[in-house]
Amino acid sequence: MKSFIKFITCLLIIFLVGFTFVVTKYEKPILISSAGQSADVTLAGTLFKKIKVDVTVLPLAKKSDLNGVKTLVVVPGFSSKGLGAAGISREQEFDRIKDLIAAAKSKNMKIVMLHLGGVARRGNQSDDFNQMVANASDVMVVVKTGDTDQFFTNIANKRKVHIKVIDKIADAIPVMQELF
Amino acid sequence: MSLNHRFRAGLFLFIVLIICFISGKEFRRMTIPDKIYPSKEITKISELAQFNPNLKGTNGNTAVYYFDSGKPGGTLLLLGGTHPNEPAGFISAVLLVENLHISAGKIIVIPQACYSGFTCTDPLEGCPEFFTLKTKSGERNFRFGSRVSNPLDQWPDPLVYSHYPSGQELSGIETRNLNRSYPGRLNGSFTERVGYAIMQLIKNEKVDIAVDLHEAAPEVQIINAIICHEKGKDIAASAVLGLEFENLQYALEMSPQNFRGLSHREWGDSTAAYPFLMETSNPIQGRLRGKTSSDLVVSGNDPYYREAIKIGKFRITYLAEGEPIKLRVGRHIEGIKALLDAFAENFPEKKIVYGNIPAYQEILDKGVGFYLH
Amino acid sequence: MLFWIYKIITIGLALIIGAELFNEKKWRIQIALALISIPLILRIFGFK
């Protein structure tokens, strides 16, 4: 009898621990910000609306906006029009994201990277932002045309974090439902 | 004095006059209006001069097609031909005019917004004056025009164009670019008068959603995109996601607040309408292109862009099999539908109900001409 | 106003070239002058 109870207890522990690793739910409240000011941050907000999860979208979020936030979602991708509209330089945007990520890390926040712009948000101008965010993320969701050279996959493998490569933006919906 | 050289001079002059006659006829062909055959659902064909009498009797006056269901709903304004060298926008508008069926709301279409630009081509580009589409009833020619108004309608260009009212400075030729002229002026330059008329149309007709159709060279960064004013960003984002379900990828771009004169900026700032601008990839506008011909307009198939894709060192948006006009028009049509669906999600009381417009795959399978008169 | 000044200048130039064409004896220069007159004649008649 004692052996049977021990056996069932072990099974339960394995099941619970395993369950935790299979589904890591990222907690709310959630803040979404951009890294590079592309309009993809708006797409990210719409994706969360589709899965009926409340989020705050602040393309120019600062570390002071992280109060009370449990998960930071960053959407990298450079847009000269976006930076122009925001009235900031590339360097200022880079520093903002660096500070934001550092502040999130100091508060033990989870960071999710959503790279939705595909190949259009890769290349010289975007990859600085892409690399910074990828190096800080706990999980990455990437549209596959943005990872044909395995840029994000290589970072994920090196850092041993989960990466989900999707065919198109709309395929992020089931992934987001799983994560949130 | 020998008359020989005078006889020779006379002969050369006669030959020159023949050449001028023949080439003059070619130029005149571009002033002949393109024929458009509206569907039976057309309510009214008006003219843009209704909104700025200064356009009457000029090439700034262009046809405005109204489809009014008479039932409650929103109002869509669709512009094609803002840049007459971007044919997918013009042809998409023509396809709508020739097929549209409407049961709620109102749709207003201006297929040739910059009508003046259709009367000439851009100098030094070697562009064709016409392109041909095969329809069910035979071949149909359409004009392939210039990006900007004809200099015969507005001349000279200043060295620097100062936009009214912002004072933003651009290259002098932009004074003839309709998509830099908004909000325009009643008595401004020729192109500003056209811009003003379109703004007045939007205000007077209480347009709710306004879509401006464009194309750009494959190497331009903003391609296969929807550009929106900040007030329409949720609608645009929803449309982009909806299009993804149709396997059509569009980039989402925000209209820069400090770039003045464009439809997606000025229409949004100065009217209640939600403006959107869509771009498709058009190789005849590109710098890498090979032979510039009417075939390239229709087939969108260029060997040098294909080579550039193979080399893989260029950041261009171009399909290896080419970007034919049927694909570009299909994208525009599907984009318009997605924007209307997203608009109706946000404003259900302003839903526009329409029909008889083919789907993207149908246009790809049967060609654009199948849906034209 | 500027447009008409331009047109008058163009007509003037075309007339000068025409006169030179008839005075010139070398056929190569006659051909060159004749060719130069083509865009001028087209401009006079309002073609672009």
Question: In Å, how far is B122's CA from the nearest CA of chain C?
Answer: 10
**Which other chains touch chain C, taking contact as 3+ CB pairs less than 8 Å apart?**
B
The first and second tokens of residue B11, run together, are: 């002969």
Q: Edge to edge, what strands does the sheet with B75-79 contain? A: B44-47, B63-68, B106-110, B75-79, B209-216, B274-281, B225-228, B251-254
Chain B interface disruption, residue of A42, A122, A125, most B CBs within 10 A:
A42
pLDDT of residue C7: 87
Task: Examine the pLDDT at A3 and tell me if it is beyond 80.
Answer: no
For chain A, the residue count is 180
Q: Is B249 on the interface with A (CB under 8 A)?
A: yes
Q: Decide if pLDDT at A18 tops 50.
A: no
CA distance B266 to chain A (A): 15
Candidates B254, B258, B318, partner chain A, best to mutate (most A CBs within 10 A) = B254
Look at residue B344 and tell me if it is in a domain: yes
Q: Categorize the per-residue pLDDT at A10 as very low, low, confident or very high, splitting at 50, 70 and 90.
A: low
The chain-wide mean pLDDT, for chain A, equals 88
CB contact under 8 A, B5 and C30: yes
Q: Which residues of A touch B257 (CB under 8 A)?
A: 85
The interface predicted TM-score (ipTM) is 0.90
Of B237, B238, B254, the CB nearest to A81: B254
Written as one string, the DSSP assignment of B117-152 is: GGGS--TTS---SEEEEEETTEEEEEE---SS--TT
The minimal CB distance from C48 to the residues B8, B12, B27 is found for B27
Which element (helix H / strand E) includes B276?
strand B274-281
Say which amino acid occupies A132.
Answer: M
Give the E-state strand segments of chain A in sequence order.
30-35, 56-57, 71-76, 110-115, 139-143, 162-166
Asked if the structure places residue B141 within a domain, the reply is yes
Cβ distance A170 to B238 less than 8 Å, yes or no, reads no
Residue B222 covered by a domain: yes
Give residue-wise pLDDT tens across range A76-101: 999 888 888 888 999 999 999 999 99
Cα radius of gyration (chain C)? 12
pLDDT tens figures, A107-143: 999 999 999 999 889 988 899 999 999 999 999 999 9
Provide mean pLDDT across the span B165-189. 97
> pLDDT class for A22, splitting at 50, 70, 90?
very low
Residue B67 lies in a domain: yes
Indicate contact of A with B: 3+ CB pairs under 8 A. yes
Percent of chain B residues past pLDDT 70, beyond the cut = 99
Q: Residue A17 — pLDDT band, cuts 50, 70, 90?
A: very low
- pLDDT tops 60 at residue B25: yes
Rounded distance between C-alpha atoms, residue B139 and residue B162, angstroms:
43
- Both structure tokens of A68: 């009370």
Return the C-alpha torsion angle B222, B223, B229, B230, nearest 10.
-70
pTM: 0.88
Biggest distance spanned by C-alpha atoms of chain A: 72
pLDDT of residue A20: 41
Q: How far is CA A136 from CA A21, A32, A129, A152, B91, in A?
A: 20, 15, 11, 12, 48
Q: Of B202, B206, B268, which is closest to residue B233 (Cα–Cα)?
A: B268
- Mean pLDDT, rounded, for C19-45: 92
Among the listed ranges A81-85, A142-146, A176-180, B207-211, which one has the minimum average pLDDT value?
A81-85
> Is the per-residue pLDDT at C48 higher than 70?
no
Q: How many structural domains comprise chain B?
A: 1
Q: Report the C-alpha gap between B129 and B26 in whole angstroms.
A: 9
Which residue in the set B244, B245, B256 is minimally distant from A81, CB to CB?
A: B256
Task: List subunits contacting chain B, requiring 3 or more Cβ pairs under 8 Å.
Answer: A, C
CB B219 within 8 A of CB B316: yes
pLDDT at B3: 60
Output phi, psi for B188, to 5 deg.
Answer: -75, -155
Q: Are B67 and B109 in contact (CB under 8 A)?
A: yes
Asked if residue B4 is part of any domain, the answer here is no
Q: How many CB atoms lie within 10 A of CB B93?
A: 26
SS3 string, B75-117, reads EEEEECCCCCCCHHHHHHHHHHHHHCEEEECEEEEECCCCHHH
Which sign, positive or negative, has the C-alpha torsion B110, B116, B121, B123?
A: negative
Output the six-digit token pair for A64.
């002071």
> What is chain B's alpha carbon radius of gyration, rounded to the nearest angstrom?
21
Q: What CATH number should be reported for the domain holding residue B74?
A: 3.40.630
In the predicted model, is pLDDT for residue B352 greater than 80?
yes
8 Å CB contact of B156 and C25 = no
Q: What would the two tokens of residue B89 be?
A: 């926008």
> In whole angstroms, what is the distance from residue B31 CA to residue B153 CA?
12
Rounded CA-CA distance A116/A133 in Å is: 13
| Alpha-carbon gap, residue B82 to B85, rounded angstroms | 9
Helix, coil or strand: residue B252: strand
Please tell me the distance from the alpha carbon of residue B54 to that of residue A146, in angstroms, as a whole number: 51
- At B41-80, the pLDDT tens digits run 999 999 999 999 999 999 999 999 999 999 999 999 999 9
Domains and CATH numbers, chain A: 25-179 (3.40.50)
Nearest residue in chain C measured CA to CA from B21: C42
Give which of B13, B122, B143 to mutate to test C binding, by max C Cβ within 10 Å. Answer: B13
Domain of residue B141: give its range.
42-371
pLDDT tens-digit readout, B87-141: 999 999 999 999 999 999 999 999 999 999 999 999 999 999 999 999 988 999 9
A62, containing H or E segment? none
CA dist., res. A134 & res. A115, Å (int): 9
Residues of A with Cβ-Cβ distance to B317 under 8 angstroms: 120
Q: Do chains C and A touch (3 or more CB pairs under 8 A)?
A: no
Report the candidate in B243, B239, B242, B245 with the shortest Cα–Cα distance to residue B227: B239
Angle formed by the axes of helices A40-50 and B233-245, nearest 10°:
70
CB contact under 8 A, B12 and C22: no
Q: Which residues pair with B162 in a beta bridge?
A: B169
CA atoms within 13 A on the CB side of A145: 14
Q: Give the C-alpha separation, A13 to A108, whole Å.
A: 26
